[in-house]
């Protein structure tokens, strides 16, 4: 299958699948790229793999999902396709390692949160900046608390703050920092994944992913509904998106004070 915005390669004697976001520098996670990622993971499903690597071309992993596709007439389909992809990654047949450099934001960050492990270089920055656009990150809202705990997750989700590679390792989000990302990743594959049984890794993944699977299947639909039924109905949700697209400051709605 030919892809327009990603690459799928099989390396290390076809024991490692490498999926690369190939639309630099932003690597925007639009619905075309989401569909291609879903197809790529599906192609891995019947293979005996020791690892799946999720990487990106260019200096940045991803600036996030398409803001244009978050307008009211498109957002339902956008969320459905992204959340389906995250569940697909959760069912991948081998450990999924995200290799991150540069900015990893929004929907790109949510994609990384659905992976098993993260290796990054010192340039990596992770953030869920959706709150600055008058919305929030549905998948990150359920995945981040599982990955790093509720209080640290709330700080990122409610402020849109970014964390560095060093902080990501300290809080347990990232497993390793490498001076050279490709070299460090290859060393990790050689030491901890390629010597293992593909069958054992497959079943170990199913066991280790259970907390993420529960929130993706049980909690995310509720949060998605909150977004589509209530948030999107608020005027600020559309205003924040349009202000970003029009490159102007948002004009937030100011509700009238309740009368006594």
User: Is residue 130 annotated as part of the catalytic site, yes or no?
Assistant: yes
CB atoms closer than 10 angstroms to residue 154: 13
Given the residues 36, 69, 130, 224, the one annotated as active site: 130
Alpha carbon distance, N-terminus to C-terminus of the chain: 64
Q: Report which of 253, 250, 259, 212 is spatially closest to residue 233, judged by C-alpha positions.
A: 253
DSSP one-letter code for 256: P
Question: What value, to the nearest 5°, has the Cα angle with vertex 232 and ends 227 and 238?
Answer: 130
Query: By the 8 A CB rule, do 123 and 181 touch?
Result: no
Query: By the 8 A CB rule, do 35 and 51 touch?
Result: no
Given the residues 69, 110, 217, 238, the one annotated as active site: 110
Establish whether the linkage from the previous residue to 258 is cis, with ω within 30° of 0.
no
The pair of structure tokens assigned to 17 is 């699948």
Query: By the 8 A CB rule, do 65 and 31 touch?
Result: no
**Bridge partner residues of 67 (DSSP):** none
- CA torsion through residues 59, 10, 118, 122, sign: negative
The pair of structure tokens assigned to 34 is 């989401």
The pair of structure tokens assigned to 93 is 């047949």
CA distances 151 to 56, 71, 254, Å, are 30, 30, 28
Q: Report which of 61, 79, 52 is spatially closest to residue 24, judged by C-alpha positions.
A: 61
**Would you name the residues annotated as active-site residues?**
110, 130
């Amino acid at each position: 299958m030919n892809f327009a915005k990603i690459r799928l390669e099989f390396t290390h004697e076809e024991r490692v699948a490498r999926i690369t976001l190939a639309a630099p520098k932003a690597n925007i996670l639009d619905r075309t790229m989401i569909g291609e990622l879903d197809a790529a993971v599906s192609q891995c499903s019947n293979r005996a793999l020791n690892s799946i690597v999720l990487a990106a071309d260019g200096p940045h992993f991803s600036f996030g999902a398409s803001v244009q596709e978050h307008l009211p007439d498109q957002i339902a389909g956008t969320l459905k396709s992204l959340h389906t992809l995250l569940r697909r990654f959760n069912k991948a047949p081998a450990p999924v390692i995200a290799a991150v450099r540069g900015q990893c934001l929004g929907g790109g960050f949510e994609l990384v949160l659905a992976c098993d492990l993260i290796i990054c270089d010192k340039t990596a920055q992770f953030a869920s900046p959706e709150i600055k656009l008058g919305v929030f990150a549905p998948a990150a809202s359920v995945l981040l608390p599982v990955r790093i705990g509720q209080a640290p997750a709330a700080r990122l989700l409610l402020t849109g703050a970014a964390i560095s590679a060093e902080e990501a390792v300290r809080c347990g989000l990232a497993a390793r920092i490498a001076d050279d990302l490709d070299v460090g990743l290859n060393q990790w594959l050689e030491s901890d994944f390629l010597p293992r049984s593909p069958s054992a890794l497959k079943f170990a993944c199913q066991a280790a992913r259970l907390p993420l699977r529960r929130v993706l299947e049980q909690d995310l639909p509720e949060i998605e509904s909150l977004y589509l039924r209530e948030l999107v109905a608020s005027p600020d949700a559309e205003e924040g998106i349009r202000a970003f697209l029009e490159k102007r400051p948002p004009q937030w709605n100011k509700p009238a004070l309740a009368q006594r």
